[in-house]
Amino acid sequence: MADVPVIELGDTVFQKEVRSTDTWAEAERSVQFHTRTYASEHRKALERDHWGRSALMCDGEVIEIFDAGIDAYDAGMELFGQGNFATQGIGTVSVGYRVVQPID
């Protein structure tokens, strides 16, 4: 059995999970799901305690809080792969969303 890579994020150790979003629509639904989940379940507490920072989310859960959105994005790419996570600015107003599609 091959070694499965692990990634340490603060005090938490994650087993690297490689998933692939099959379609553009699937990735778009994931972004919409995380936006709704953030607003309904996490927004109040995070805005009270982490205003101006960025949350890394996967499967509706807040994984970690970062000082900069790019750091949340980089960690999400490393941990979950493109299309399998979302980042959310805490205390920012969302004027839309976009799904990044790789260029082959």
For the purposes of burial, counting CB atoms within 10 Å of the CB of 85, is it exposed (0-12), middle (13-18) or buried (19 or more)?
A: buried
Angstrom CA distances, 4 to 15, 27, 38, 68, 79, stand at 7, 25, 30, 28, 12
Q: Which long-range contacts (CB under 8 A, 24 or more apart) does 42-51 make?
A: 46/90, 47/90, 47/91, 50/90, 51/90, 51/91
**DSSP states of 13-39:** EEE--------HHHHHHHHHHHHHHII
Decide if 44 contacts 98 (C-beta within 8 A).
Answer: no
Separation of alpha carbons 55 and 61, rounded Å: 10
DSSP 51: T
Task: Give mean pLDDT in consecutive 10-residue pieces for the chain, a chain of 104 residues.
Answer: 52 52 69 81 90 89 92 89 83 56 50
Question: What is residue 71's predicted lDDT score, i.e. its pLDDT?
Answer: 93
Question: What is residue 66's predicted lDDT score, i.e. its pLDDT?
Answer: 95
DSSP 83: T
Question: What is residue 77's predicted lDDT score, i.e. its pLDDT?
Answer: 87
